[in-house]
Structure 1
Amino acid sequence: MHVRAQLPVAGAVAAGGALGAAARHAATLLWPTPAGAFPWTVLGVNTLGCALIGVLMVLVTETATAPHPLVRPFLGTGVLGGFTTFSAFALDTQRLLAAGETVRALAYLAATPLGALAAVAAATAATRAALAGKGRTA
């Protein structure tokens, strides 16, 4: 595909990513994590973001009405991709290890992917059930 044809997708991802990253940053400002403490805010952001990705994917792929082609790049890759954060997860883990908080670091290393996977699975199932109850699935 020609590069020019992908510019709207790139723009949607960039705009959404800016919004998502700003929302994540706002969450860390509202609920900062003290040094050496368990990073609940980033864990919560990542878990919430994964739940929302589960909802979004059901809505854009399993409903009878096809969404605008930029919805998934804007909301999924952009907003929710910018909102969730592997970099902060890695940095928080490194900070915990550097502070000698090995148990907290290992708990965080386990809780983040487990929480994210559980959130996306639960949100996907809940969204499918809600749509089936309303007769809106494809």
Structure 2
Amino acid sequence: MTKKRKEKEPQHEREPGKSILPFSRVQKIIKADKELPIVARDATFLISLATEEFIKRLSEACQKLAEREKRTTVQQKDVASVVRRADEFMFLEEIIAFQRTEPPQKRKPKALQDAESQSEPTMLDKFVTRGEEITPADVVMDEDGTMYAG
């Protein structure tokens, strides 16, 4: 027996005159650009609305592509395909990679990770053992607590 999924309603509806995006966060992002000395409150609001519209269009296009491929989850490859094919998103082409050149590395079981880490010397081991044995008598501590091998 299959369960039918209920259509989810949007969780956030925009009230007239307000944006879904936090005003202070949008303002911080705008202020990060040092070339803009002051940005009016109305301009920040309009940038916020434009950002909402951009996110809405991109996500809807990605969702339609996933649905065409009979999937309910939007994947990175959907975003990359939309960016490559739709003119309005072409400016993102350099930012969003179409395909990974190599598959992501799979995690090894913890037992194998521990065995490998024991067989290879750590960075500290390489630093401390430079072919000569350092005894506690060779270590000198400075006034501020810094240790030196003497």
TM-score, normalised by the number of residues in structure 1: 0.31
Q: Which of these two proteins has the greater Rg computed from alpha carbons?
A: 2
Which structure would you say has the larger RCO, counting Cα contacts within 8 Å and 6 or more residues apart? 1
TM-score, normalised by the number of residues in structure 2: 0.29
Structure with the bigger percentage of helix = 1
